[in-house]
Structure 1
Amino acid sequence: MKKIIIYGIVFLASVNIALAQNPQEIPLDQAWKDKISELAPEKANFPFKKKKKVLVFSLHTGFWHWVNPHTQAMIQIISDKSGAFDVTTSTDIAMMEKDKLKEFDAVIFNNTNSKPQYRNLFVDKISENTSLDSVTVWAQANKLEQNIIQYVKKGGGILLFHGGDTMLNNSMEFSKLTGGSFDYHTKQQAFQVRIEDPTHPLTKSLPAEGYNHVDEPYFYKNAYDELDFHPLTYFNNAEIEGQRKGQEKTSGKTYVSWIRKDGKGRAMYISTSHNAQSFENANILAYFLDAMQYVAGDVKVDETPIGK
């Protein structure tokens, strides 16, 4: 009987740990929005001459993140409360046409996950028109990709959240623009997000010692290995459990967020936003608002790539 009780206690403890490592979905209701509004910054950290226009693009064809609508709501709340941004939301790829993109100071790609087959969000969507042959589909998809690349080079800004880096995952040109491509992630777990440089203007909203966070630790490939970006946050590889067999990293660091100058514009990637619980933190909300101001061109910071 004692053994049964002990086993039962161990089982319950393991269940509690598992639940703690996999936050449950929470409703996007008014109570949650009110919580985020209360935690959101009263004003932007960086001065701005006028309210900027930002597009939040939330189309997905691959894995659906339940946090997507919460992320969109969070962006709307911190934009409204700070008065820094006018927000437009869309899932229409027509918004990636040149004449549409030029209406915005920045575009946020909110978990724009593509299907595994091609890892190309635009090919996935355009090929839904079965009257088009594959040559036409890829030509149209490549045109939309080039629109984004040229949009940044000419002065626009893009901010990618979490799975947003999979949208054109097999394109090396897009990988270079954004700083890297998705390789894989481990199981959800608590890990310490550390600050590369606590004096950098874009990390001052975060605690200097970093913060503990439950999420999917992301690992990267393609252009990431060139380190042609300026890192902001990272985790220690040795602290991450469940890494891919044969590719375990027992030393060094993997970056969690970074910025990159490209032509006249800017790109930023932030991997930590798999769960809406992530946003229930005033420091994180301030960091996201800082990120939006950066890609919109409100602040000039050190963008020196570490790989150069």
Structure 2
Amino acid sequence: MKRSMSVLMMVFFLVAVKAGFTADPKKEASEAEVKKVEEAMPAKATITPAKQRKMLVFNKCEGFYHDVIPLAAKAFEIMGKKTGAFEVVTSDDKSIFSSEKLKEFDAVLLNNTTGLKLSDDQKKALLSFVKEDGKGLIGTHAASDNFGDWPEGAAMVGGQFDGHPWGGGGTWAVKIDDPEHPINKGFGGKGFKVKDEIYQIKGAYSRETHRELLSLDMSDAETCKPKGQKRADKDNAISWIYDFGKGRVFYCSLGHNHEIYWNPAILQHYLDGIQFAFGDLKVDATPTAKVKK
């Protein structure tokens, strides 16, 4: 009997891993972690919003589930309330991606979502929300691992996940590509090391079209070591902004590990990127390759 139960448990585990659900999607952030987030959060918005802003934080995964999602959602809720920069509505219901329902929002944040597949009408609504209506799209960490059947949607995020040679248990060097850029002000112009899972990016990402803010510092010996690296140019972007039609996109791949959400400098980076996506923080989004030096 015990052997049969062990076999059944192993089968269940393998099915769960294959489906991507390696954590409990309903597990809430712990009180201890929420307290750390509250203490590290910026005290005020970088700029007063032009109007009351509302952001949809979308949490649904149809691929691998990151157990940091509840904490991240709570962090953005705290950010909005503490700074007064925006109000948060959370959802994991894809029916919210309709032209009518999206009208109430100024930006959509894809919170570590993976493997999302939208209907044709939902694709049209989300694309139009940013490109035609001039709203904002924010992606955290695994947001670049969506829309495998929708090239235009993947391009809208700004690039696609292509593996993570830099695992979440390692500590990696980050380069400030644009030290004077307002969205990077929280870092004080200095590169830093971070313990987090770092993605390599393929697809639409390019310095010809994106303003790169952060990338891996490939001059660091430990950061160069991991196997499985694919980019010949070693341009492993971490964070970027760009104008997409009438709208604005901000993406940052930091956010696999829980401690990212009580790192003051990274929280400031997210706040400023979100305010850019709303259209409140006016910054230069000229693609990096086209910036006059």
So what's the TM-score if we normalise by structure 1? 0.79
1:224 counterpart (202, 205, 221): 205
What corresponds to 1:241 in structure 2?
225
1: CA distance, partners of 2:258 / 2:287: 31
Which residues of 2 match residues 103-118 of structure 1 at below 5 A? 103-114=104-115
What corresponds to 1:198 in structure 2?
179
Question: Alpha carbons of 1:179 and 1:209: their partners in 2 closer, same or farther (altered >3 Å)?
Answer: same
Which residues of 2 match residues 88-167 of structure 1 at below 5 A? 88-114=89-115, 121-122=116-117, 141-153=119-131, 154-167=133-146
Question: Alpha carbons of 1:307 and 1:145: their partners in 2 closer, same or farther (altered >3 Å)?
Answer: farther
Question: Alpha carbons of 1:41 and 1:225: their partners in 2 closer, same or farther (altered >3 Å)?
Answer: closer
* Comparing 212-221 and 266-275, the one that deviates more: 212-221
* Cα shift at 1:98: 0.7
Identity of aligned residues (%): 34
Secondary structure of the structure 2 residue equivalent to 1:108: strand
What corresponds to 2:248 in structure 1?
266
2: CA distance, partners of 1:61 / 1:147: 19
Question: Alpha carbons of 1:225 and 1:202: their partners in 2 closer, same or farther (altered >3 Å)?
Answer: closer
Unpaired segments ≥5 residues, structure 1:
1-25, 115-120, 124-140
Secondary structure of the structure 1 residue equivalent to 2:275: helix
2: CA distance, partners of 1:275 / 1:100: 32
Tell me if structure 1 keeps the 8 A contact 2:48–2:85: no
So what's the TM-score if we normalise by structure 2? 0.82
1:177 counterpart (156, 165, 170): 156
* Cα shift at 1:103: 0.8
What corresponds to 1:293 in structure 2?
275
* Cα shift at 1:237: 3.8
1: CA distance, partners of 2:127 / 2:86: 23
Tell me if structure 2 keeps the 8 A contact 1:93–1:122: no
1: CA distance, partners of 2:203 / 2:49: 35
Secondary structure of the structure 2 residue equivalent to 1:38: helix
Show CA shifts across 1:200-244 (max 9, x none).
111111231122111122111121257421111111346243231
Secondary structure of the structure 2 residue equivalent to 1:257: strand
2: CA distance, partners of 1:306 / 1:197: 9
Question: Alpha carbons of 1:223 and 1:307: their partners in 2 closer, same or farther (altered >3 Å)?
Answer: farther
Letter in 2 for 1:67: V
2: CA distance, partners of 1:70 / 1:288: 15
Question: Alpha carbons of 1:227 and 1:272: their partners in 2 closer, same or farther (altered >3 Å)?
Answer: farther
Unpaired segments ≥5 residues, structure 2:
1-26
2:195 counterpart (193, 214, 220): 214
What corresponds to 2:73 in structure 1?
72
What corresponds to 1:47 in structure 2?
48
Tell me if structure 1 keeps the 8 A contact 2:157–2:251: yes
* Comparing 205-214 and 236-245, the one that deviates more: 236-245
Letter in 1 for 2:129: Y
* Cα shift at 1:253: 2.8
* Cα shift at 1:67: 0.4
What corresponds to 2:23 in structure 1?
none
2: CA distance, partners of 1:217 / 1:182: 10
* Cα shift at 1:90: 0.2
1: CA distance, partners of 2:76 / 2:97: 20
Whichever of the two has the greater Rg, that structure is: 1
Secondary structure of the structure 2 residue equivalent to 1:149: helix
* Cα shift at 1:143: 2.3
2: CA distance, partners of 1:113 / 1:217: 15
* Cα shift at 1:87: 0.7
1: CA distance, partners of 2:231 / 2:239: 21
* Cα shift at 1:69: 0.3
Tell me if structure 2 keeps the 8 A contact 1:179–1:228: no
